Structure 1
Amino acid sequence: MPTQYQTTISLTILSLFHVLIVTTVVHGGATTTTPTAYEVLQSYDFPIGILPIGATGYDLDTKTGKFNAYFKGSCSFSLEGSYQLKYKSKISGVIEKDKLRNLSGVSVKILFMWVDIVEVVRKGDNLQFSVGIASAGFGIENFFECPQCGCGLDCNRKIKGGGEHFVSSS
């Protein structure tokens, strides 16, 4: 017959085991991981391809929507031979569902001038990119893949072996 001491120890072990099982079930048995900048974009209903490959991190104030995304350096590339884009090593703005506003750090070349993209709005299956005085719309399917610095979406033909092409920000 077990002693009172052995019964107390058995109940304590059983209680600890129960707490361990409940904790594992409640938390799904998995550790929590921080989402990537690309996953955060998706959570606000944006496709990952509005950021080039190579985001090294981000910070986000979920109450205000203010964010910063970080890269190793500045980045530039052409899309379909027509639009030239530049990303600085830090991109800032405010994000909310279907809208990026007060953007800084992203610019597009229009004719012979570089102008900042200040807002991106998703309207159904289209994205509207605004440079303040003008805007242009593109189908969302154009942004399912992330462009690569140096070569955009046409990297296999231009650069054998891939790789990221960031330049030092100054």
Structure 2
Amino acid sequence: MRRHLLFLSLVISVSAAAAAAVASSAYEVLRSHGLPIGLLPKGVREFYIDDAGQFVAVLEASCTAKFESEVRYNASVSGTISPGQIAGLSGVAAQDLFLWFPVRAIRLDDPSSGIIHFDVGVVDKRYPLSLFEIPPDCSPVSAFVNAHLEGSRIAALVAESQSGELRYQLDQLHAQDAVL
């Protein structure tokens, strides 16, 4: 029994140390590319990177962090990191005027400017670099929010398909009227 407890405590210690090493390696990679470590939130469980700079960071769950605005992280964040930038980013969205925009890239042109750029497609969002000095706490995205977003998507698709079906039926009626 005593051996089992000793073994169990060793496994728990090794697991905790491995999780800390994974998180620190993710933040070390950001730092080594001249980027602030706060671009990834607390709670990185797994981190993989290849020689080309393509990476995947696996979080405990989807979550939201608060900076000047809210930033949502999926449970998996990926992209290609190079000095001063992350390109091909997926799994991150920034909120602006109650809308969520996917962040496609992040770049730091000049560290002395104190500004970091988020490419959200439509606009180039600028944030003070100081906001990203430490990894932020990240609140889990509630099941209600996920269900609401999924429900909204389904409702839009159903409405679109119903209006398409209605248009088809009306077109058929007009075609019959034209023949008669």
Normalising by structure 2, we get a TM-score of: 0.61
Give the match for residue 106 of structure 1: 92
Looking at structure 2, the residues matched to 108 and 71 of structure 1 have their Cα atoms a distance apart, in angstroms, of: 17
- The answer as to whether partners of 2:117 and 2:126 remain within 8 angstroms in 1 is yes
- The answer as to whether partners of 2:41 and 2:65 remain within 8 angstroms in 1 is no
Shift of 1:166: 6.5
Distance 1:109-1:45 versus aligned 2 partners, 3 A rule: same
Q: Could you tell me which of 29, 34, 54 is aligned with 1:66?
A: 54
- Per-residue displacement from partner, 1:114-137 (whole Å, max 9, x unpaired)? 110001011122211110121122
Which structure features the higher share of helix residues? 2
Looking at structure 2, the residues matched to 128 and 71 of structure 1 have their Cα atoms a distance apart, in angstroms, of: 23
> Secondary structure of 1:56's partner?
strand
> Secondary structure of 1:46's partner?
coil
% of aligned pairs identical? 30
Looking at structure 1, the residues matched to 86 and 33 of structure 2 have their Cα atoms a distance apart, in angstroms, of: 9
Query: What count of residue pairs does the alignment treat as equivalent?
Result: 121
Looking at structure 2, the residues matched to 96 and 84 of structure 1 have their Cα atoms a distance apart, in angstroms, of: 25
- Per-residue displacement from partner, 1:12-39 (whole Å, max 9, x unpaired)? xxxxxxxxxxxxxxxxxxxxx7751111
> Secondary structure of 2:73's partner?
strand
Give the match for residue 7 of structure 2: none
Q: Which has the higher contact order (CA 8 A, sep 6+)?
A: 1
For residues 148-159 of structure 1, what are the structure 2 equivalents within 5 Å?
148-150=137-139
Say if 2:38 is the partner of 1:49.
yes
- The answer as to whether partners of 1:99 and 1:122 remain within 8 angstroms in 2 is yes
Shift of 1:87: 0.2
One-letter identity of the residue aligned with 1:122? L
Give the match for residue 17 of structure 1: none
For residues 30-49 of structure 1, what are the structure 2 equivalents within 5 Å?
36-49=25-38
The ranges of structure 1 where at least 4 consecutive aligned residues each deviate by more than 3 angstroms after the TM superposition are: 165-170
One-letter identity of the residue aligned with 2:80? V
Give the match for residue 65 of structure 2: 77
> Secondary structure of 1:36's partner?
helix
Say if 2:109 is the partner of 1:120.
no
Shift of 1:138: 2.2
Give the match for residue 143 of structure 1: 132
- The answer as to whether partners of 1:72 and 1:166 remain within 8 angstroms in 2 is no
Q: Could you tell me which of 65, 68, 77 is aligned with 1:91?
A: 77
* Gapped regions of structure 2 (runs ≥ 5): 1-20, 148-180
Q: Could you tell me which of 134, 145, 153 is aligned with 2:123?
A: 134
- The answer as to whether partners of 1:41 and 1:47 remain within 8 angstroms in 2 is yes
Looking at structure 2, the residues matched to 140 and 109 of structure 1 have their Cα atoms a distance apart, in angstroms, of: 18
Over aligned residues, Cα RMSD in angstroms? Answer: 2.1
Give the match for residue 14 of structure 1: none
